Amino acid sequence: MRLIGLALLALAAGLYLGFGSDPLGAVLFRLDPGLLNLVQAVVQRYLLPMLWDNVLLPVLEAPVWVVPLVLGAALTIFGWNRARG
């Protein structure tokens, strides 16, 4: 857990240096333009339509480095707490 968390923290630092404050959605659109339309259609049609507007859209508007930073910090903290307890 800690190793994956530390790798995600390193990825966040690399993304910050590479993309700065570009939104996650813009970076994903540059990589694969059809991906966001597909994910939106699947989420709104087969899952919960409110999930797209209330959860995924704010995540896509956040800077690209925020998601791996939050996940990496959570996994690192969880891994250290689990190892001690």
The reported pTM is 0.78
Backbone angles phi, psi at 64, to 5 degrees: -60, -25
Residue 50, CA distances (Å) to 46, 68, 85 in order: 12, 24, 38
Mean pLDDT by 10 residues, the chain (85 residues): 90 90 92 93 92 93 94 90 68
- Residue ranges of the domains in the chain? 1-22+63-85, 24-62
pLDDT on residue 85: 59
pLDDT on residue 83: 65
